Amino acid sequence: MEKTEYIKKLVRKKIAILGLGKNNFGLLGWLLKNGAQDITIFDQNESIKVAVQKSDFARYGARLKYQTGKAYLKGIEDFEILFRTPGIPFLSSAVQKARYGGVQISSQTKLFLDLCPAKIIGITGTKGKGTTATLLFQMLSQKYASQKANVYLAGNIGVDPFDFISQLKEDDLVIYELSSFMLQDLTKSPPVAVVLDITEDHLDHHKDQCEYLKSKQNIVCFQEQGGTAIINFDSLNSFALAGISPANVHWFSTREETQDGAYFKNGNYYFSFSHQDLIISQQDILLKGDHNRENILAAMLTAKLLGVSKKHICEVLEKFKPLEHRLQPVCEKNGIIAINDSYSTTPLSVKGALSAYPQSILLMGGKSKNTDFIAIAKIIRQKVRHLILFGEASSEIKAILPKTFNKFTKVKNLSDAVREAVKLAQNGDTILLSPGCASFDEFKNATERGKKFVQLINELL
C-alpha cells in the first residue's frame, strides 16, 4: 500500500493514544496535522488536558477527548488502533485485553519505522545507547556536512522522530536510540542495527529476564539479507542475536581481535578488515571507563561501514566530552573532583563508573529495579574508598556487602548522601554519583536526580 493511502486510512480510524508523554506528543501533532478527527488521550496525569491546551495543538481541541485519573485505562478496547507509550508494557493486562478484543496495537516507534523513507540506524543495549548514538551522529554529520543529505538523531537522547518525519528524504540518515520498551512489539527491524552490551535490567517493567531479552531481539530478527548488524562480541546475550539476524554481521570487541570489525588492544583502537588498521589511542580520547571503550568501538565501526573517513572519526573522538549525567565531570574544588553519573541505573553500570574512577567516594542507591547487586559486591570492596547508600534500595545493597566491609554510611536521601560525601572528602578524592538504581523513590527521573546532585555539589563543596 502506498504510504499516502496508508496515512489516509489511518487518520480515519478511531484512535487511542495511551500515555501522552515525551514519546507521544510529536505523534499526536502529526496525526492532527494529517487530518485525524477522532483521538482520545488516555493518561493517568489529570493535568494533561491543560498541557495540551497550552500547546500548539489547542486549535485542534474539538477533535480531542480525554480520559485521565486512576481509571484512565478503562475503555481502551473500544478503539480501532491504540498507540502505546513505551512506559506502558506491551504485555500489560489492559493492552492485551484490547489486543485480543481486536484493537490494533501500535506505537510511535512502529509507525515511524513503517513511514520513514530514510535509512534508519537503530541502536540498543542495556547502557551506552545515548553516548554511542551521539558519537555516531557527530561522525556522520562530519561526512555529510557538505552534502544535500541530512543526519537526524532520534530517541531519548535526540529529537522526537515525528518532529522531523515530514522533512525526511531517501538519502537522509536517522540514528534511532531504541530501548527494550520501544522494541517490545516491533515487527520490523532497522536496516542497520547496533547491539551494545545486553545485561539484566528493567525487571520492574518486563515479565522476566527472558522477556527482556526477547524484546531486544526485535532490533535484528526482522532485518533483510542486505542489512547490517554491528554486535558486541564480548556480551553473551548480544552475541546470541547474530544467530537470528539474516543481515551481514560485524563484530566489535575489547577482548578479541575480531575480523571485519573493530577491537581494542593495548590502549589502542583498531579496524580489522583487509588488514589491521590502528585508528586512535585511548590517551587521545576524553571518554573514560571500560564501558565507553565498547561505545567508541560500536560508533567508529558503524561510521566506517557507512563511509565515514578515519580522519572524521578521529576528529570526533578527540573532542567528544561525556554527556550530561553520564560520567559527567561537575567541578573540581579544593582538590576534590565530583562526577555525575545519574544515568547509571544498573549494578553493572556502577562497575563501568568505578573502572573510570577507582577509589572514589561512591554514592549509590535509589529505587531497585529487581536486579542482582551481588555481581558488584567484590568490586565495591576493592575499588571504593567509602560507600554512601541512600534511598529505598539502600538496605538491599547493604545486604550483599561482606560483614567485614565497614567503609560505608547509610543515609536517607540524596541530599544527605552529598553532605556526607563532602564531609568525608579530602584533597585528591573523587565524589562519584553512580546510583545503580532507578530514581523514582525520590525524583521524577534520573535527569532530575542528576541536576539535584550538581546543585548540591556546587552549594556544599
Closest C-alpha to 302, from 313, 290, 316, 286? 313
**Pairwise CA distance, residues 152 & 229, whole Å:** 20
pLDDT, residue 47, reads 86
Instruction: Tell me whether domains 3-108 and 116-319 share a fold.
Output: no
How do residues 149-193 score in pLDDT, each as one tens digit? 899 999 888 889 999 999 999 999 999 999 888 998 899 999 999
**Assigned C-alpha cell, 249:** 554481521
pLDDT, residue 204, reads 55
Fold for the domain defined by 116-319 = UDP-N-acetylmuramoyl-L-alanine:D-glutamate ligase (3.40.1190)
**Pairwise CA distance, residues 407 & 387, whole Å:** 6
**Assigned C-alpha cell, 400:** 550483599
Q: Which residues contact 61 (CB under 8 A, 6 or more apart)?
A: 53
pLDDT, residue 23, reads 79
pLDDT, residue 200, reads 63
**Assigned C-alpha cell, 138:** 557527530
Looking at domain 328-460, its CATH superfamily turns out to be Mur ligase, C-terminal domain (3.90.190.20)
The DSSP-derived string for 125-186 is: -SS-HHHHHHHHHHHHHHHHTTSS--EEEESTTSB-GGGTGGG--TT-EEEEE--HHHHTT-
Closest C-alpha to 400, from 427, 368, 431? 368
For residue 67, give the amino acid letter.
Answer: Q
Closest C-alpha to 435, from 340, 304, 320? 340
Q: How far is CA 53 from CA 50, 158, 404, in A?
A: 5, 25, 58
Query: Is there a contact between 289 and 353 (Cβ–Cβ < 8 Å)?
Result: yes
**Pairwise CA distance, residues 5 & 9, whole Å:** 6
**Pairwise CA distance, residues 343 & 436, whole Å:** 8
Query: Is there a contact between 80 and 104 (Cβ–Cβ < 8 Å)?
Result: yes
Question: Residue 303: enclosing H or E segment and its boundaries?
Answer: helix 290-305
**Pairwise CA distance, residues 102 & 8, whole Å:** 21
For residue 136, give the amino acid letter.
Answer: L
State the pTM of this model: 0.83
pLDDT, residue 225, reads 93
pLDDT, residue 57, reads 75
**Pairwise CA distance, residues 27 & 107, whole Å:** 9
**Within its chain, how far is the Cα of 72 from the centroid?**
27
How do residues 271-304 score in pLDDT, each as one tens digit? 999 888 999 999 999 998 888 999 999 999 999 9
pLDDT, residue 445, reads 92
Domain ranges of the chain: 3-108, 116-319, 328-460
Query: Is there a contact between 103 and 75 (Cβ–Cβ < 8 Å)?
Result: no
Q: Locate cell 553500570: which residue?
A: 349
Which residues partner with 68 through β-bridges? 43
Burial of 423 (0-12, 13-18, 19+ CB in 10 A): exposed
**Pairwise CA distance, residues 147 & 437, whole Å:** 43
What residue ranges of the chain have pLDDT lower than 50?
Answer: none
Closest C-alpha to 303, from 131, 141, 156, 126? 141
pLDDT, residue 265, reads 96
**Assigned C-alpha cell, 334:** 579544593
Burial pattern 100-116, b for ≥16 Cβ within 10 A else e, equals eeebebbbbbbbbbebb
Architecture in CATH of 3-108? 3-Layer(aba) Sandwich (3.40)
For residue 187, give the amino acid letter.
Answer: T
